[in-house]
Amino acid sequence: MLWICKQCGFRESVRKYYWRCPKCGAPLDVEYEGSWNPRGKGLARYASSLPVSPTKTLGEGLTPIVKMKINKIKIWFKLEYLNPTGSFKDRGASLSLYFAKKLGYKTAVEDTSGNTGIAVTAYANLYDLKSIIYMPKQAPKGKKNLVKILGGEVIEAPSRAEASKMVLEKIKEPGVFYVAHIWSPLFIEGNKTIAYEAFEQGFKHGVLAVPIGSGGLLLGVYRGYKDLFNWGLVKEIPFILGIQGCSVQPVYTAIYGKPLECGESTLADGIMVSNPPRVKEVVDVIKRYGNIVLVNNDEIIKALKILYKHGLIVEPTSAAVLAGILKALDYGIIDPGDNVLALLTGSGLKTHDILDKFLNSR
């Protein structure tokens, strides 16, 4: 397995950890020989297709798909919020924390608005690592409490940007592993397994609806379907519908040249990443294979109520996906007859404090 940097050409055998390219500071990827030989359950089923194979598990992966018709669209909801800690972040955390343990680290640190911190703490516990999670003050209280209950140390920062600055000071200390999920190729590799599972569950073509924060989820499922295409298992890569919020829209702005005034999307905290490091790659994928829409709080609340009525207990970031699908239908980006795979990324049980305020006031 090799670290590779697509920007400057850096290549090095994976004997030590880099959270970004040591030569130019760009995001790294991992190069390895993968193959299609699914055996077993969960993430371990795809060991032949991944760069590392964790030795322990909390039962991550193998999330169900529920098919429903909403506004005449056949939607395949992939229930990623049923992962062990309530979000898709368990897939990347499983690989990343195993890697940290394998390299001899004792402490794992991360900056996050919530779900990644919960996942990192849980998988750090699995491998007997200490976890320190830097979170913005405005992060959902339920998520901060879960990190603490799991045994992680929560350090509050005035903002998401300040949390990132604080963690960079911490990793100057020896023996500290920076998970760096918005940079980490291991999180992207973990997300590829969503595509593998969806394929085995019957979704072979159509529209793939994905929320965009750092872009790692979109890149992961795209690369997963690209693998399946290269192995001759699917005939084409799905149309990719990216969804961002109106408040923070770096990918949309990069594609169209300027931001769009469309309200606020502060409810969708999971996609409020203002400067994603892989934005160019995300833009390239969307330009080649799909399109992007923006959603606001009112549209998110409307979608959230629909999802709850159908028994899907998700957080607002997940509801942004349905809001984006409905908007794409109105705009003619997708058609009523399309099959749509919608990734519901996080559990609403962790955001009940926010949901109580907004659902009961509208």
Taken in order 94, 96, 102, 105, is the CA torsion positive or negative? negative
Over residues 189-202, the pLDDT tens digits come to: 999 999 999 999 99
Q: From CA 208, how far away is CA 290, in angstroms rounded?
A: 9
The model's confidence at residue 182, banded by pLDDT at 50, 70 and 90, is very high
Provide the pLDDT for residue 358: 63
Over residues 316-336, the pLDDT tens digits come to: 999 999 999 999 999 999 999
Query: The whole model's pTM is what?
Result: 0.95
Over residues 256-279, the pLDDT tens digits come to: 999 999 999 999 988 999 899 999
Provide the pLDDT for residue 269: 87
For 21-57, b where at least 16 C-beta lie within 10 A, e where not — what string?
beeeebbbbbeeebeeebeeebbbbbeebbbbebeeb
Distances (CA, A) of 184 to 19, 163, 293: 6, 17, 25
All domains in the chain, ordered by first residue: 2-48 (no CATH), 65-87+185-359 (3.40.50.1100), 89-178 (3.40.50.1100)
Q: From CA 168, how far away is CA 235, in angstroms rounded?
A: 43
CA 157 to mean position of chain CA atoms? 22
